[in-house]
Every structure is written in structure tokens, then in C-alpha cells.
Amino acid sequence: MSDDSLLELARRAPALTVMATRRSEPKLAPPAPSAAELAFAIEMAATAPDHRSLTPYRMVAIWPDAAAAIVADIELERPDDAARARVSFSRAPLFVAVIASPDAAARTSVEEQRDAAVVATGYLLLALRALGYGSMWRTGRLARDPVLASALELAVHERIVALVGVGTSLGLPTHPRSRKPRLEQLGSADSQETFGLA
């Protein structure tokens, strides 16, 4: 199929349009989704592949008041780190912590359960885009901060795999752009070559 044919297909298939126009947006403006919209996006995220349907993750909304309280607690413990945390939380009006919570007793490996949390994060980004919101998947220092871990009541076996910033896009394009690797970079669709591993 030609590029034009693929673009036409994307226009006729809303899910493909969402995928083709999703972007990582470092700065997002208010408003954030409503609680009902966010709950719906999380429900859609939970449709991601999940071996044995364990749902080995949880998603916690961090609204502005909670973010401010976390920053205040960081400032009490480590004043030098508070400014960085404040800047991080200022980049979006809402954050969603995606927490991998694998069950070590399950027959599905812990690694595969963590993978399910990561895939669900990707689905969350797409669901938010479909609802008209922008998002940014973040990790880094804040995601590993013990104060945040305490605020989210992380158990010993749990780990934050994403802090997803959510809000209104500042000029998100409505058309695809050529930023993804082209097929020839990944492998051949008409051979037995392994995509990305050749």
C-alpha cells in the first residue's frame, strides 16, 4: 500500500488515527480529564494484553493538591530536591502513577507481569489521546523518590513504571508525521526476517 492509501485507512479507522497522531508532550495545560474521563481511560488501559488476566499493576491519580503535598514532604526531607520535584509536577495538571504490582506466586513470571504494566501504560496514553487529551510518559528521579513511594503506599515488590503527565495539548497536530522508524529499518514484511533484530 502507498503512504496515501495508509493515511486514508487511518482516517477511516479511528483507532489508527489515534495511534498515528499520538505525541509525547513535555508541557501540558489545564484542564485535565475529569475523574470520570480518567476512570474510563484507565478501564480502557486494562484491556491491554495480560497473561492469565492478573492485572498486575495499579494506577493512581496524583491531582494538584496531592502533588503539592508530595513536594512539601520532599522539601522537609531533602530541600535540595524539592525544586526539581516542583518543576516536574508543574508540567501537567494531572499525573497518573502506573505501579507494577506483580504476584510472585502466580504462574506468570514477574518479568511478564511487569511487561503487562508497561503495555497497559501504552494503552492509557492512547485512550487519553482518543478522549482529546495529551500525555507524557515520564520516569527518572521522581519516579524513584522514596517520598513518592511512601505517598503511594508502594509495597516492597511494587515499582513505578511510569508517571504519566496528562492535560490539554498545546497545539497537538492532527496528522501523522514521519518520526517512527520506517518498515525497512525494522525488517521486511514479506520475509522471515525478524523485525528490529536482523
Distances (CA, A) of 117 to 86, 102, 110, 190: 26, 9, 11, 31
Complete edge-to-edge strand list for the sheet that includes strand 159-167: 57-62, 94-100, 159-167, 134-138
Q: 60 near 151, Cβ under 8 Å?
A: no
What pLDDT was estimated at residue 164?
99
Q: Measured between alpha carbons, how far is 115 from 146 in angstroms, rounded to an integer? A: 23
Instruction: Please say if the pLDDT value at position 5 is more than 90.
Output: no
Q: To 10 degrees, what angle do helices 14-21 and 110-130 make?
A: 100
The residue-averaged pLDDT of 156-173 equals 92
Annotated binding residues for FMN, written as ranges, equal 22-24, 51, 137-139
Q: Which residue has the higher pLDDT, 143 or 180?
A: 143
Q: Which amino acid is at 7?
A: L
Annotated binding residues, written as ranges, equal 22-24, 51, 137-139
Q: Assign residue 61 the CATH number of its domain.
A: 3.40.109.10
User: Within a domain: residue 166?
Assistant: yes
Q: 117 near 57, Cβ under 8 Å?
A: yes
What pLDDT was estimated at residue 10?
60
User: Within a domain: residue 8?
Assistant: no
User: Within a domain: residue 129?
Assistant: yes
Instruction: Please say if the pLDDT value at position 51 is more than 70.
Output: yes
What's the pTM? 0.85
Q: What domain range includes position 117?
A: 30-172
User: Within a domain: residue 192?
Assistant: no
Q: Is 168 helix (H, G, I), strand (E, B) or coil?
A: strand
What pLDDT was estimated at residue 198?
38
Find the angle CA(112)-CA(22)-CA(35) to the nearest 5 degrees: 80
User: Within a domain: residue 10?
Assistant: no
Domain count across the chain: 1
User: Within a domain: residue 80?
Assistant: yes
Q: 131 near 44, Cβ under 8 Å?
A: no
- Tell me the sheet residues that pair with 24: 135
User: Within a domain: residue 24?
Assistant: no
- Can you point out the beta strands (E) in 5-124? 57-62, 94-100
Task: Kindly state the percentage of the chain with pLDDT values over 70.
Answer: 81
The residue-averaged pLDDT of 115-141 equals 96
Kindly indicate the confidence band of residue 15, based on its pLDDT and cuts at 50, 70 and 90. Answer: confident
φ, ψ dihedrals at 91, nearest 5°: -80, -10
Q: 10 near 176, Cβ under 8 Å?
A: yes
Q: In whole angstroms, what separates CA 135 from the centre of its chain?
A: 7
